[in-house]
């Protein structure tokens, strides 16, 4: 059977970027402001795209615009296409650099203190490209790899790893961080019900699933440990809020141990989900440098596994906590 199409077109990436902005903003005016273009220019670009494709992509009204079924399909595909185009350009530019690097993305405070050892082990072979670092928040790590800004990432906590291959490096418990004088600070073990009236630090600037994980809400409504507390934009803010008695926060045990100080108490929590760390890289990659770093990361994490500080006790960081 032969399929015939009455109209074919070569998609213009510039037009697609404008269309995606309009679809996301649901407004030509807001899309124009986001793209730093005039509203008539945005309108003409979308109209030109519709003419070249021979389909209506948007339904216009006085107050907003809505996607047609064809527009919904194009939006999903356009995001993938634009991401692929951007990745291709970045990878080509990096390949042409005088001194290519292996770019490792990580959240600065979530590597359990193991990143230096991973980099050292990876770079023992002088024939490997040097490693460069890209520090990002947790929810930005997988996109950094997918976009080509990084070659491999260390991701701790839930993340959308679609389009990536992953290898688990370690799993560890999470703990609650309380003010040192809190009534629960003397407990050997805290339960979720013990925390029912506690304000829990919120993370409004991260995706919903990650915020729920940070707040201990990722195991369903029965696990809800407390009421919404103050907002934090960084780990240091969360720890300061806990120290001042404004809220409690949940952290992987290794992270809590690295940032332990006299004004804080750290206690294990029964029923709280744990923390998993993975190495993530673009699916199907055959880059030997990526393979070498992942192997080095796995070996360092494995050597760090073993008995660690007793639950509820602050540690000094480093190895021995990843069980």
Q: Mind listing the pLDDT tens digit for each residue in 137-162?
A: 999 999 999 888 899 999 999 999 98
Long-range contact pairs involving 180-184 (C-beta distance under 8 Å, separation at least 24): 180/243, 180/262, 180/263, 180/264, 180/265, 181/245, 182/245, 182/248, 182/265, 184/265, 184/267
Q: Residue 300 above 70 pLDDT?
A: yes
Q: Residue 223 above 80 pLDDT?
A: no
Contact 159, 153 (CB under 8 A): no
The whole-number pLDDT of residue 224 equals: 61
Q: Residue 47 above 90 pLDDT?
A: yes
DSSP letter assigned to residue 248: B
The whole-number pLDDT of residue 26 equals: 87
Taking residues 237-256, report their average pLDDT. 95
The whole-number pLDDT of residue 310 equals: 35
State the DSSP H helix or E strand holding residue 98, giving kind and residue range, or none if neither: none
Q: How confident is the model at residue 88 (pLDDT cuts 50, 70, 90)?
A: confident
Contact 102, 293 (CB under 8 A): yes
Burial pattern 212-238, b for ≥16 Cβ within 10 A else e, equals: bbbbbbbeeeeebbbeebeebeebeeb
Bridge-based pairing of strands 102-106 and 65-67 is unpaired
The whole-number pLDDT of residue 8 equals: 46
More confident of the two residues 130 and 85: 130
- The set of residues, in sequence order, having a beta carbon less than 8 Å from that of 2 and lying 6+ positions away, is none
| Domains delineated in the chain | 13-86 (1.10.10.10), 97-165+276-304 (3.40.190.10), 174-273 (3.40.190.10)
Chain-centre distance for alpha carbon 22: 25
Q: Residue 40 above 80 pLDDT?
A: yes
- Least reliable range by pLDDT among 129-143, 181-195, 207-221: 207-221
The per-residue pLDDT of the chain, averaged, comes to: 86
Contact 14, 73 (CB under 8 A): no
Q: Residue 222 above 60 pLDDT?
A: no
Q: Is 211 helix (H, G, I), strand (E, B) or coil?
A: helix
Q: % helix / strand / coil in the chain, to the nearest 5?
A: 40, 20, 40
């Amino acid at each position: 059977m032969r399929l015939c199409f009455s109209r074919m077109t070569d998609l213009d990436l510039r037009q697609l970027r404008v269309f995606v902005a309009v679809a996301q903003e649901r407004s030509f005016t807001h899309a124009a402001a986001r793209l730093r273009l005039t509203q008539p220019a945005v309108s003409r670009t979308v109209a030109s795209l519709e003419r070249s494709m021979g389909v209506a992509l948007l339904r216009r009204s006085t107050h907003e615009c809505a996607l047609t079924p064809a527009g919904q399909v194009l939006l999903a595909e356009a995001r993938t296409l634009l991401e692929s185009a951007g990745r291709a350009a970045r990878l080509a530019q990096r390949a042409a650099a005088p001194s290519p690097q292996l770019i490792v993305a990580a959240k600065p405070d979530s590597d359990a203190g193991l990143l230096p050892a991973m980099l050292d082990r990876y770079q023992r072979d002088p024939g490997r490209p040097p490693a460069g670092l890209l520090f990002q928040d947790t929810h930005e790590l997988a996109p950094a790899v997918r976009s080509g800004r990084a070659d491999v990432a260390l991701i701790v906590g839930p993340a959308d790893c679609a389009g990536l291959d992953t290898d688990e490096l370690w799993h560890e418990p999470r703990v609650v961080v309380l003010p040192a004088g809190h009534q629960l600070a003397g407990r050997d073990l805290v339960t979720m019900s013990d925390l029912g009236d506690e304000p829990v630090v919120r993370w409004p600037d991260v995706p919903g699933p990650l915020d729920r994980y940070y707040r201990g809400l990722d195991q369903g409504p029965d696990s809800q440990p407390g009421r919404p507390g103050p907002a934090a934009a960084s780990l240091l803010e969360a720890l300061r809020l806990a120290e001042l008695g404004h809220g409690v926060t949940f952290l992987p045990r290794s992270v809590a141990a690295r940032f332990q100080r006299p004004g804080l108490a750290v206690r294990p929590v029964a029923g709280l989900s744990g923390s998993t760390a993975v190495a993530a890289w673009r699916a199907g990659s055959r880059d030997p440098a990526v393979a070498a770093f992942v192997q080095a990361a796995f070996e360092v994490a494995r050597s760090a596994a073993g008995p660690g500080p007793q639950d509820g006790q602050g540690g000094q960081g480093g190895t021995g906590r990843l069980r």
